[in-house]
Each structure stands twice: as structure tokens, then as C-alpha cells.
Amino acid sequence: MQSQRDVILRTHEMSADIGPGKVINFSKFKSATAHELAPLRDVNNIIRSVTVKQSGYCRSLLSKAGENHNSVGMFLQGFLEDDILAECSTGAVVANASFKAVELAMLGLPDEANAIFALLHPTGCLRYSSPMEFFFAASGTRRPDGTEPLNDQKLAPLEQQALESFGHLPRDINFANIDETSYEKISSFVNDLDSRDSPYKDARTGLQAMLMSAGVTALLAMANVLGHEDQASNMMNRIARRIHANQQSAYLSVVRSVWRPYFLSGWLRDKLGITVAELQQYAEFVLQTTKTRLENGPRRIDDFYADKDIPQLLDELSQNTVTSPDYTSDVYYDDHVGDTAPISVLGLPATEEHITSSETRIGHKFPEDLKNFLRITNGCLRVKVGSPPGQMFQRRLVSLGFMAWEDSCFMASPTFYLLPDIRKVDFDWPEFETGAVAMYEHSGQCTQHVWMVPEALVQTAKQRVQDVYERANDETKAIIDHEINFRFGSREAFNEMTVCFYQQYWGEADGEAFPSFRSFLNRVVYESRTMQQRSPLKLPFE
């Protein structure tokens, strides 16, 4: 069995591969244990790096990492209304809201935090993280399950375990018995990061910022234990100034000694210059958005755009892309002819002759919604995917020249998953056999494979679903019905579907089916939106 330190060191190695713009070696993560993934709290960096927010594989990493991951990014940000309303996983919704509740508690709003915890508790998905336990104990409030807060004897090992999970500190630090020797080692560690011309000193993202966050937080925790009040005060002031740095707020939340004097007292809130009224508005936003999602279930992304036609969708996609500050010449240089930046991602329309000849070349007819898109623009320039700091620009809507029949031997996976995995249900999904129509640009490990799946294979997969459905018990039938309704709109739409569009990210075992090209286009536009578009509330610190 691996030691705690060995686990931390391996996690440290994996975390070096995480960050905006990094290409990830998934093999490191596929073999990782939950214990190893736990310290990677900012698992959202994994998602942003490969722009697979809807990725089943990265969702499994989130689930595997458990209560220790921080999927919300910077402090008091990242809770996006549309994303919460469209989130399929209730567990992910609960985790996101609970992180915001902890942050509100850190800013001296215990009642508002407790209201969110009370809403989340009946779901059965609320995990009692170390920061939550420290909050209940420091505030003297009962836990949402009605039990009393934990005593010091039970809280002490939680803090020790949390500090040890940082995984970026010198290996010979003993948090169980903090002494001056350990304190000096951490001081030296931070001083090295702070040295002149060090890339770590002012870093806010990536491993560089994570190392500094771990160092200053450990120094704070040790200073409090050893009675170095002046140094503890200095560290708190420094941490407040870099509260948005990678992992800083998450690490700070597990220092038990700061909860009363710095969090519940309102010190951190005042230091950051936020008013109680602003935070109460934000707390109400988190509470009501979460309540709506829990009561109504996830909202389909198609529903967000039900009142828009394809030209309107393309106009939004274009504006989201070309107005981005990061839309520079290195993004569009090989797509765009001219000395100035393009004012639109749209190109010239495809002629009817070009569409017909492409159908003949490929050997398959295109559905009408795809033809309508091509009649407006024969593909698009690279479009925006995600929001800073992890946004990318990719050619997600290709021209006819990119489209071709692709044999199954060249496909990322030979299996066609019409529905996501359902526990204890084997659909015996068919293989692609002869292939499908490729509609993507190959970009190595960043490739987002998209295929138009021909009618014969779609019908075979639908029949597999029906066969399983007829043999299933009522509980399994209800699960299948829910998945069909959520992903395809209704059972009727599912039954009438002839061809579909299938997206699979590089390195994933399965993919996601869309009932139409329009549905896929909706997703592309949705993922191009900025955080402000997805959440109309003016968030603190924006």
C-alpha cells in the first residue's frame, strides 16, 4: 500500500500537467486512485484544459475526487446560473452550491450559508467537508442533519489531513507535531518562491500559484499553532490580497484557527471591500438558482435556444468569438485572408451544387438543418470555447471540404453509445462497423471528433435500447425514459430520429449523441458564451 507521502508526490506530478492550455496525458489520471485525485481540488482546470465540460470522462474524475475537489475556480465566482440549471448531475450541483456556502461563511454570513446547507441536505448528496465541519464548530450551529458540531478531538485530525493533502510542500513536514524546525522549513520554502525574478511570486494560475498558495497557508497554520501572532497577521493580509490565486481560498478554508477571528468576525469580508448587502444578494442568487434546479431537474441546452433560428445562433456565436480579447491573429491566421481581424466567423454560403456534389462524394444525404446551416455559411472560422482562463478557439463547424466518410478503423472508438452508461444496464451498443461521416478538424490531443451517424447504425442502436427497455423493471425503465427525454426531447422525437450527430473527445471511451445538427449547434453556441452571459448577476470581484 502506498504511503501518504508517496500518494502526495504522485499527485504533485499529475498536477503539473493541469492548467489552461496544457495538453493532458490522460494515462496518468486513468490509473489514479481517489486518494491521489483528492488533493487536485481544482479539477475544473482539467475540464478547462481540454474544453470538455460535458465530458463523461472528466465528470468521472470529479466524482472520483470526491469532497476535496473545488470545481468552482476563483473565490466567490464560477457559480453560473445557466450551467447550474443545465447540470445533469445533482451531486455536482450540490457540490458547487456547498462550496459557495463555505465561501459565504468565510465572509461572515453564517445564516446565509446555513440556509444553503439546509436546502442541500435532503438531496443525500451533501458531503461534510473539513471546511464545513470547522464552520459548524466555530459558529456553534447544528449540522444540517441535526447533530451537534464535532468536538476538538475529532476536528484536529481533519485539519491535519487537510494540510497534508496540499501535496506541494517539503516532504519532511510533520503537521501532527508542528515545531519551530518545521516552521523554518516552510518559511524557507516560501522565501525561495518569493525570490527576485521568481515566476511563483505573483502567479495566479497553474502549478506556480498552487505552490505559493500551499506555502503561505501552511505558514499561517503553523504560525497560529506556535503563537507567532505578527507573522500570522502578515500571512492573512497576504492571502487576502491573492485570494483568487489557484487553490488559495480552498487551502485557507481548512485552517481551523482562522474561522472565528478572521472569517466569522467579518475581517476577510472587510479586507476584500465587499458589503454585507452585496453578499446577501449573492447568497440569495445561489440559494434560489440551486432550489430551481433541484425542484425542476436539469434544463436541456436546446431549451435555452428554442426561440432562436440558425441565423440568430450564428450571430451570437460570431459575436462571442470575435469580441474576445484573446481572438488574435494566431487564432485566425490560417483561416482568414487580410491584414485586419475578421468581424465575423461566418464565410460564404455553400451553393446547392456544392452541397449535392458533397453528398454524392460522401455517399450520404445531409439532413435539412445541416443544409440550412451550409446555405448560410460553408463552415466557420475557429470559434470560442469556454471562458478565461481556460478558453480555446477551435474549428467546430467545418466546411464541406473537411467532411468525408471515415472508416471505423480511424475512429477514436469503435463503439456507438447512443445513451450514457446506466448502472447495471448493458445495452450491448453496436460498433460503427463501416464508419460515419467525419465533421471535424484533427488537432491531436485537443481533437473534438464529430460524426454524422448514418441511419442504419442509429436504428440498430435504438433497437438495442428498446430490447433492454422491454426486459427492464420499472425503476430501470424510469431511468431510461429520463435519459431519452433529457437528451432527445421526448420519446416521440427519439423514435422519429433517423440520423444523429455524435461528439467524442480525444482520449474518451464514449461520446455524446445529439438528435440533430441544430442540437449540436446549440451546444457549440452555449459553450462559446462568457460567464456574464451565463449568469446575469453582477458577481463580486468581476
pLDDT tens sequence across 276-326: 999 999 999 999 999 999 999 999 999 999 999 999 999 999 999 999 888
Distance CA 17, CA 466 (A): 42
Residue 189 vs residues 124, 226, 386: alpha-carbon distances, Å: 41, 18, 35
Chosen domain end from 296, 329, 357: 296
| Residue 32 belongs to a domain | no
416 and 369 in a common domain: yes
| Residue (of 324, 341, 286) closest to 94 by Cα position | 286
The more confidently predicted of residues 393 and 390 is: 393
346 and 254 in a common domain: no
Beta bridge partners of 383: 394
Spatial contact of 245 and 261, defined as CB atoms under 8 Å apart:
no
**Mean pLDDT throughout 9-24?**
36
455 and 363 in a common domain: yes
At residue 199, the pLDDT reads 79
Which residues, at least 6 apart from 15, have a Cβ–Cβ distance to it below 8 Å?
A: 39, 40, 167, 168, 207, 210
262 and 114 in a common domain: yes
pLDDT digits over 433-446, tens only?
888 999 998 776 67
Backbone region of residue 347 per phi and psi (left: phi > 0; alpha: psi in -120 to 50; beta: other values) = beta
**Residue 141 cell numbers, joined:** 450551529
At residue 245, the pLDDT reads 92
Whether the bond between 414 and the residue before it is cis, its omega within 30 degrees of 0, is: no
Distance CA 489, CA 502 (A): 16
* Burial annotation 67-105 (CB, 10 A radius, 16+ → b, else e): ebbbbbbbbbbbbbbbbbbbbbebbbbbbbbbbbbbbbb
| Residue 170 belongs to a domain | yes
Q: Assign 166 a pLDDT band (cuts: 50, 70, 90).
A: confident
| Residue (of 40, 48, 42) closest to 7 by Cα position | 40
Spatial contact of 320 and 529, defined as CB atoms under 8 Å apart:
yes
**Mean pLDDT throughout 488-508?**
91
497 and 366 in a common domain: yes
| Residue 362 belongs to a domain | yes
pLDDT digits over 76-88, tens only?
888 889 999 999 8
291 and 368 in a common domain: no
249 and 222 in a common domain: yes
251 and 116 in a common domain: yes
| Residue 385 belongs to a domain | yes
Q: Residue 336 above 60 pLDDT?
A: no
Spatial contact of 117 and 144, defined as CB atoms under 8 Å apart:
yes
Chosen domain end from 238, 272, 296: 296
At residue 539, the pLDDT reads 56
Chosen domain end from 296, 325, 352: 296
| Residue 1 belongs to a domain | no
Which residues, at least 6 apart from 120, have a Cβ–Cβ distance to it below 8 Å?
A: 94, 97, 98, 101, 126, 144, 290
Domain count, the chain: 2
Distance CA 149, CA 128 (A): 11
366 and 283 in a common domain: no
pLDDT over 70, % of the chain: 81
**Domain housing 459:** 301-533
| Residue 499 belongs to a domain | yes
| Residue 183 belongs to a domain | yes
Backbone region of residue 489 per phi and psi (left: phi > 0; alpha: psi in -120 to 50; beta: other values) = left
Q: Residue 151 above 80 pLDDT?
A: yes
270 and 156 in a common domain: yes
Distance CA 189, CA 212 (A): 9
228 and 119 in a common domain: yes
Q: Residue 18 above 90 pLDDT?
A: no
At residue 174, the pLDDT reads 82
**Mean pLDDT throughout 173-186?**
89
At residue 451, the pLDDT reads 94
Look up the pTM and report it.
0.78
| Residue 516 belongs to a domain | yes
